[in-house]
């Protein structure tokens, strides 16, 4: 029985067949474990591969581990960013440094098993341009976080003009042409999973059971999750702005109905009373106005960031075997 990694009809002989891109943050204790699991898969497949590890400004010994690993493993390339730019920017740094015909994105916490790579390659051999992992369960996460994640995907599905699959993060395999398009887009703020969905082509889901974290804790705190959610909504759709028009029109209709009710009461000698209800209506309208002003502010912030034209990341140093 042939290995699904052995057949690559679209791969040229003078290029690397696969690039593995892994953003790393606070993972000094798991870098070697990650490499061992990847190397086992790659050796079995017998394909020419590079492993790009991006240190996203980790304050621990992550870069030390990456540097030492690259000295003993020539296929490992290390990129150290000047500070913590965030996972999305670190992923972009790895994509821009990659040279393989197929690019495999993987998180550093080993919750997404790299052993699914052969199955992803098989699905790509059948014609897929993107094979993304779709989680069936999320072990180790609180019920509150799972609920908020569920609501986020529902909100994205409602607001977005582009279909974004639920429970699908950045764990995926992409062809070179998809990655080249991503690199040319240069969006700020960057939201890769949404950008990949927008590109289109043939995208196939691979369902899997997510593993517990290999070590440590998640550094995606509530503030970072909120930022990611806002960036996901504002980068995927302008529908929230249009909802402001709908809310204004609905409020206007309700105001006309209320005014009609008051006038009818006056004509029949039953004037409307109630200072409390009046204040409640004013507070509701004021809150709605501030809410939609906040939405407009988020979009203005996106415009401001893009006009600054700052780079999405800065490289502090690379390992000796890196071309980045």
Q: How confident is the model at residue 103, as a pLDDT?
A: 92
Q: How confident is the model at residue 289, as a pLDDT?
A: 75
- Superfamily covering domain 4-142+165-224+312-318: Spore Coat Polysaccharide Biosynthesis Protein SpsA; Chain A (3.90.550.10)
What are the φ and ψ backbone dihedral angles of 202, each rounded to 5 degrees? -90, 115
- Scored b (16 or more CB within 10 A) or e, 248-279 reads eeeeeeeeeeeeeeeeeeeeeeeeeeeeeeee
Best CA proximity match to 123, nearest among 6, 203, 192, 48: 203
| Cα–Cα–Cα angle for 100, 179, 37, rounded to 5 degrees | 50
Give the pLDDT of the chain (324 residues) as one tens digit per residue. Answer: 344 344 333 434 456 789 999 998 888 778 888 888 888 888 887 788 899 999 988 888 888 888 888 888 888 899 999 888 888 888 999 999 998 889 999 888 788 888 888 888 889 888 888 988 887 766 556 666 667 667 776 776 666 666 677 667 788 899 999 999 988 887 777 778 778 888 888 888 888 877 665 555 555 555 666 666 666 666 666 677 767 667 777 776 776 777 777 677 767 766 666 665 666 667 677 777 777 777 777 777 777 777 777 788 888 888 876 654
Q: Which residues pair with 116 in a beta bridge?
A: none
Best CA proximity match to 106, nearest among 198, 57, 174: 174
Q: How confident is the model at residue 275, as a pLDDT?
A: 60
Q: What is the pTM of this model?
A: 0.69
Best CA proximity match to 170, nearest among 151, 192, 200, 140: 192
**Residue 37 CB neighbours (<10 A):** 16
Q: How confident is the model at residue 13, as a pLDDT?
A: 45
């Amino acid at each position: 029985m042939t290995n699904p990694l052995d057949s690559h009809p679209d791969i040229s002989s003078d290029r690397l067949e696969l690039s593995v891109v892994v953003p790393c943050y606070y993972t000094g204790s798991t870098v070697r474990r990650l490499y061992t699991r990847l190397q086992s898969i790659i050796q079995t497949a017998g394909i020419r591969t590079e492993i790009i590890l991006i240190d996203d400004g980790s304050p621990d010994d992550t870069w030390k581990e990456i540097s030492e690993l690259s000295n003993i493993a020539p296929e490992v390339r290390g990129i150290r960013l000047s500070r913590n730019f965030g996972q999305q920017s670190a992923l972009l740094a790895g994509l821009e440094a990659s040279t393989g015909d197929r690019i495999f994105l993987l998180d550093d916490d080993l919750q997404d098993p790299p052993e699914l790579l052969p199955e992803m390659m098989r699905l790509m051999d059948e014609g897929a341009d993107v094979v993304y992992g779709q989680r069936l369960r999320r072990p180790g996460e609180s019920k509150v976080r799972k609920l908020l994640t569920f609501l986020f995907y529902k909100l994205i599905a409602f607001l977005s003009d582009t279909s974004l699959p639920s429970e699908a993060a950045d764990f995926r395999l992409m062809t070179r042409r998809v990655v080249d398009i991503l690199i040319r887009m240069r969006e700020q703020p960057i939201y890769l999973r949404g950008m990949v969905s927008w590109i289109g082509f043939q995208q196939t889901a691979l369902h899997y059971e997510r593993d517990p974290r290999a070590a440590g804790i998640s550094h995606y705190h509530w503030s970072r999750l909120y930022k990611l959610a806002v960036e996901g909504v504002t980068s995927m759709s302008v529908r929230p702005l249009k909802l402001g028009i709908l809310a204004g029109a609905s409020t206007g209709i309700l105001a006309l109905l209320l005014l009609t009710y008051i006038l009818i009461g006056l004509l029949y000698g039953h004037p409307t009373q109630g200072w409390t209800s009046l204040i409640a209506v004013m507070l509701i309208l004021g809150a709605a106005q501030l809410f939609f002003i906040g939405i407009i502010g988020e979009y203005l912030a996106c415009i401001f960031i893009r006009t600054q034209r700052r780079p999405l990341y800065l490289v502090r140093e690379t390992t000796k075997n890196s071309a980045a």
